[in-house]
Amino acid sequence: MPWSWRYEGTNGEPVSGPSETFGSQADAESWIGQTWRDLTAAGVSSVTLVEDDRVEYKMSLQPASTE
């Protein structure tokens, strides 16, 4: 079952991003670990990991607030 990422902008709207697919969750997570800076520079603020159509989890790419 292929794994992929969905991308969202700052207001939660879908934004375009690389349409990579991965053979495992670990491969997808490794890839996002290597490319998240490029994605944020392109306007992506959060990503959702999906396996086929099932959502595994969603996470922010923005730094945590230190307030």
Domain ranges of the chain: 3-48
Q: Which residues pair with 7 in a beta bridge?
A: 47
Q: How far apart are CA 48 and CA 13, in angstroms?
A: 12
For residue 25, give the amino acid letter. Answer: Q
Helical residues (DSSP H) of the chain, grouped into ranges: 25-41
pLDDT at 67: 65
b/e burial code for range 36-47 (CB count within 10 A of at least 16 → b): eeebeeeebbbb
Read off the pLDDT of residues 1-38 as tens digits, 9 standing for 90 and up: 899 999 999 999 999 999 999 999 999 999 999 999 99
Q: Which residues pair with 59 in a beta bridge?
A: 47
